[in-house]
Amino acid sequence: MDKEPVYLLDLNSEELKALVVTLGEKAYRADQLAQWIYKKSAVSFDEMSDLPQGFRSKLQEAAVFFTLKPLEDKISCDGQTRKILFQLEDGQTIESTLMFYENTNSGRERRTVCISTQVGCPMACHFCATGQQGFVRNLRPGEILEQVLYFIHLIKTTVTTEDRELARKAITNVVLMGMGEPLANYENVRTAVQTLNSKYGVELGARQITLSTSGLVPQLRRLAEESLHLELAISLHAATDDLRNRLMPVNRKYPLAELIPACIYYLEKTGRRPTFEYALFEGINDSAENARETTELLKGINCAVNIIVGNPTASNEFRSSSLAKAQIFQKHLFAGGIFNTIRVSRGTDIEAGCGQLKSRWLKDTNSQPVK
Ligand code: SAH
Ligand code: SF4
């Protein structure tokens, strides 16, 4: 008889307690178990030395712990970005990236993990390598969480630092900016983020977790009402419906007149200032007129714009704008009173842009992106 496996990382603290009790143990064992998973970065039941051997054997039989297998592991030339292509239990693949930032404004080192929330993506943005792969399935909460735990374990076992707080946490930030649209996998993303944020779990502050969305308005409004108060990034990329419709099909369903009020609602409910991401593509959305439209759209809103020098994708249609072009765009925004920064994509030598490594891997192995 095949029983559905219990995936440990899918469970919140109550569910973990219930499992432990079902296996005939006292509820407090769940706290010990969570400590091993989330604080001590265990990777097997064997390591959990203060749990009775009998209990560990029962867990081994009843529960599945880690499921991700690294297929490719690439480190950028400057050593600051590391990208891993993971294989999931069903053979599907996703990407996650670790980024080190040494000289941040706060003077503290930042270590950010960029994670995926879906295999592929249903939103089909034309400039995005993931969007062009189609949609396969949602990730389970545990598959989302495990990407973070993998990097925490990797850092703890390979990187040394004098900073005790940094050594304890291993990573400082998580961004949901890998493959997939997080708000299209709402429940699973929420469960994973709650464990990332909770005392029982990874204990990352909500300010250290950023959710990026292409703009699913109803889910964005729902997120505003959660107690999570995550940092929010919106993939804007165009400031008129005409242009945005051409780049991002989601805009036809939720146009700017609905998206912008939803972002303001998020700000009002959570106090988190949204960041609008604007990737510049040569001759498509990078003109002075485009900058003026962006200023017009965002004027008076307490927000920031992140200008991104776009990553080239397989399609010839979207080529990155030059840094000089980005700087001109930036000047226009500043002149219009819009706070902004320029982000130069990290790890382009290791295909660290969204969906790029997977696209190449699919090509090399002649795999089909969609089942
Ligand atoms: N689906 C979510 C989060 C994942 S995409 C979203 O769209 O927000 C993460 C970021 O990468 C988004 O801002 C997305 O617009 C951006 N992106 C996708 N393709 C890109 C490209 N070719 N160049 C630069 N940024 C890109
Ligand atoms: Fe999906 Fe985001 Fe890529 Fe659009 S940009 S296809 S929403 S991953």
Summarised one tens digit per residue, pLDDT across range 287-310 is 999 999 999 999 999 999 999 987
Same domain, 142 and 182: yes
Q: How confident is the model at residue 161 (pLDDT cuts 50, 70, 90)?
A: confident
Ligand 1 centroid distance, CA of 200 (Å): 31
Give the whole-angstrom CA distance, residue 41 versus residue 340. 37
Same domain, 54 and 193: no
**Best residue for ligand 1 mutational test, from 135, 235, 348 (most atoms within 8 Å of Cβ):** 235
Contacts of 123 (CB under 8 A, 6+ apart): 131, 181, 184, 214, 248, 249, 250
Q: How confident is the model at residue 362 (pLDDT cuts 50, 70, 90)?
A: low
pLDDT average, residue stretch 88-116: 89
- The total domain count for the chain is 2
Nearest ligand, measured from the Cα of 237: 1
Same domain, 15 and 143: no
Please identify, among 15, 44, 64, the residue that sits at the C-terminal boundary of a domain. 64
Q: How confident is the model at residue 343 (pLDDT cuts 50, 70, 90)?
A: confident
User: For residue 368, is pLDDT > 70?
Assistant: no
Please identify, among 14, 29, 64, the residue that sits at the C-terminal boundary of a domain. 64
pLDDT average, residue stretch 132-142: 96
In a domain, residue 287? The reply is yes
Tell me the DSSP string of 207-270. GGEEEEES--HHHHHHHHHSS---EEEEE---SSHHHHHHH-THHHHS-HHHHHHHHHHHHHHH
Same domain, 183 and 112: yes
Give the whole-angstrom CA distance, residue 354 versus residue 115. 10
Q: How many CB atoms lie within 10 A of CB 274?
A: 25
Same domain, 23 and 137: no
pLDDT average, residue stretch 251-270: 98
Nearest atom within ligand 1 for CA of residue 233: 8
Same domain, 295 and 258: yes
Say whether 344 sits in a helix, a strand or coil.
strand
**Does ligand 2 have an atom closer than 6 angstroms to the CB of 181?**
yes
**Residues within 6 Å of ligand 1 by CB:** 127-128, 177, 181, 212-214, 235, 277, 279, 308, 310-311, 313, 353-354
In the chain, beta strands by DSSP E: 6-7, 63-64, 69-75, 81-87, 93-101, 110-114, 118-120, 135-138, 173-176, 209-213, 231-235, 275-280, 304-309, 340-344
**Which pTM was predicted?**
0.93
Q: How confident is the model at residue 101 (pLDDT cuts 50, 70, 90)?
A: confident
Same domain, 43 and 75: no
Q: Where are the alpha helices (DSSP H) in 43-185?
A: 53-62, 141-158, 164-169
Same domain, 127 and 216: yes
Specify the residue with its C-alpha closest to ligand 1, atom 13: 235
**Best residue for ligand 2 mutational test, from 133, 176, 306, 354 (most atoms within 8 Å of Cβ):** 354
Specify the residue with its C-alpha closest to ligand 2, atom 6: 131
The proportion of the chain whose per-residue pLDDT surpasses 90, expressed as a percent, equals 79
Ligand 1 centroid distance, CA of 167 (Å): 30
Give the whole-angstrom CA distance, residue 115 versus residue 48. 27
Same domain, 37 and 147: no
Q: How confident is the model at residue 11 (pLDDT cuts 50, 70, 90)?
A: very high
In a domain, residue 243? The reply is yes
When the pLDDT of each residue in the chain is averaged and rounded to a whole number, the result is: 91
In a domain, residue 149? The reply is yes
Same domain, 184 and 44: no
Catalytic residue list? 95, 354
Which structural domain, as residue segments, surrounds residue 24? 6-64
Q: How confident is the model at residue 369 (pLDDT cuts 50, 70, 90)?
A: very low
In a domain, residue 1? The reply is no
Nearest ligand, measured from the Cα of 134: 2
Please identify, among 42, 64, 86, the residue that sits at the C-terminal boundary of a domain. 64
Ligand 2 centroid distance, CA of 6 (Å): 30
pLDDT attached to residue 371: 31
User: What are the Cα distances from residue 227, in Å, to 190, 191, 262?
Assistant: 11, 13, 17
Tokens matching residue 6: 């219990």
User: For residue 367, is pLDDT > 60?
Assistant: no
What 8-state DSSP symbol labels residue 206?
A: G
Q: What is the CATH number of the domain that holds 19?
A: 1.10.150.530
Contact of 80 with 99, CB cutoff 8 Å:
yes
Contact of 280 with 127, CB cutoff 8 Å:
no
Same domain, 168 and 237: yes
